[in-house]
Homo-oligomer: A and B are copies of this chain.
């Protein structure tokens, strides 16, 4: 069994943003030399997400509006913010969108449907944050 580990660092200028990271994951897969296996991609922070969906800008705006509707910023309404933070909402938004994805690796490629792409979802940005890519297989 082979394994490959890589860390990406991302800083978004906005508090909330969606960034396509598919190419960076594919580059690590090529580096790994793994042909058959599983590829885990996860945020290493608890106020941001990794998820798979469509690379369409209107949809990304819909995701940001929807997470704001279901988990509004409203800093005074979260017990977490009694610690001095103002990002209680970001923990909930990331929960909606998910921490991680696991993608099949088949014949040396991410085994994707026609529209699947991997995104980083940021809900408390403007600072450097890390992602993990772990690929195991042969």
**This protein's copies in its complex:** 3
B37–A136 CB distance below 8 A: yes
Contacting residues of chain A (50-77) with chain B, CB-CB under 8 angstroms: 51-54, 56-59, 61-63, 66, 70-71
* Chain A contacts to B: CB under 8 angstroms: 1, 3, 5, 36-38, 40, 42-46, 51-54, 56-59, 61-63, 66, 70-71, 78-83, 88, 91-92, 95-104, 106, 111-116, 130, 132, 134, 136-138
Q: Which 4 A-B pairs have the closest CB atoms?
A: A44-B113, A58-B79, A104-B134, A59-B80
Supply 7 further A-B pairs (C-beta < 8 A) apart from A59-B78, A63-B95, A102-B102. A5-B104, A38-B134, A44-B116, A45-B116, A46-B52, A53-B91, A99-B101
**Can you list 26 pairs linking A and B with CB atoms under 8 Å apart?**
A1-B1, A1-B138, A5-B106, A5-B111, A37-B136, A38-B40, A40-B102, A42-B103, A43-B113, A46-B53, A46-B113, A51-B99, A52-B99, A54-B80, A58-B80, A58-B83, A58-B88, A59-B88, A59-B91, A63-B92, A63-B95, A70-B70, A95-B98, A98-B99, A99-B101, A104-B132
